Amino acid sequence: MREALLDVLRWTAVFNHGLTASEVRRYAAVEAGDAVVEATLQRLPEADFTSGRWHLSDHPLDPDRVEAAQQRAKAHLEESSSALATLCSSTAVLGVAVTGSVAAGVNDEDGDLDLLIIARQGHVWRVRALAIHLEHHHPGGWRLCPNMVLDARDLTLRPSIYAAREMSMLRPLKGRRWFEALRSANPWVSEFLPNSDLAPDLQVEGEAGTVPSWWTLMRTPVVGRVIEVWERQRRIAELRQASTSHEAVYTAHRCLGHEYAHRTRIEERMAEIKHRGGVDA
């Protein structure tokens, strides 16, 4: 129990954030009730409690900084609301969820708004093209980072505690049932995090804007399939040639553009925090 809770606090320390006791329980790799987690945290000499949030003692929590990060996350969602509504309005997009820092309710001043998109069968690369267009051309879309696009027929992901926490943190914007299907396709999430479930939907108010004229052509039955193959082949070739990350995956059924090796960097940072804290197991 002790090590499992400390691991959660190291994870959140990477982001200079803190968690409530129920949130620590949610992301802990051990089955336990709220009261047990709370009592264990209170006994940990490595843990401190500031303004309702638990954090590592050697990583002090600044409540004003946390409040500012929370306000930024809300502002960034509002700023991007029209672009998000436009993406969600397409019938080729079955599910959209916010992931990463904004899903956790915080963000940096220049932070992205990470998205996981579930596309209709055979539409991964067309949907990605639409999301990229909105990122570059729609008002407020510049914060969008559609770095995960999955085909609805293949929702399995590689197991890891990092991925389990990301899955438990994501907030659906559209297609909750598809994210329930994502959880069902990856039962290892509940094995890693037995206290977690699918987070509540995120409500974002925004009016959908117009899609580019080429999107109508891309959605036609015959020409659209041809364009999907063309877009898939050229983009995969470009992305694979430019890729330097072992975490990125580019195939017909998925685009996982993890070019910054986010998982590896977080795990390395957590290891550093653990070592410096003198709590090596």
d(CA 133, CA 112): 16
pLDDT score recorded for residue 123 = 98
pLDDT score recorded for residue 258 = 83
Question: Closest Cα to residue 13, out of 49, 58, 71?
Answer: 58
According to the 3-state scheme, what is the secondary structure of 120-186? CCCCHHHHHHHHHHHHHHCCCHHHEEEEEEEECCCCCCCCCHHHHHHHHHCEEEECHHHHHHHHHHC
Q: Which single residue is written with the structure tokens 């400390």?
A: 6
List the chain pLDDT tens, one digit each, 281 residues.
999 999 999 999 998 889 999 999 999 999 999 999 999 999 999 999 999 999 999 999 999 999 999 999 999 999 999 999 999 999 999 999 999 999 999 999 999 999 999 999 999 999 999 999 999 999 989 999 999 999 999 999 999 999 999 999 999 999 999 999 999 999 999 999 999 999 999 998 999 999 999 999 999 999 999 999 999 999 999 999 999 988 999 999 999 998 777 788 898 989 999 877 644 43
- Phi, then psi, of 48 in degrees rounded to 5: -125, 160
How is 55-74 classified by DSSP, letter by letter?
Answer: EETTS---HHHHHHHHHHHH
Domain boundaries, the chain: 2-61, 82-260
pTM: 0.94
pLDDT score recorded for residue 280 = 42
Q: Which helix (H) or strand (E) holds 232?
A: helix 221-242
d(CA 201, CA 188): 22
In CATH terms, the fold of domain 2-61 is Arc Repressor Mutant, subunit A (1.10.10)
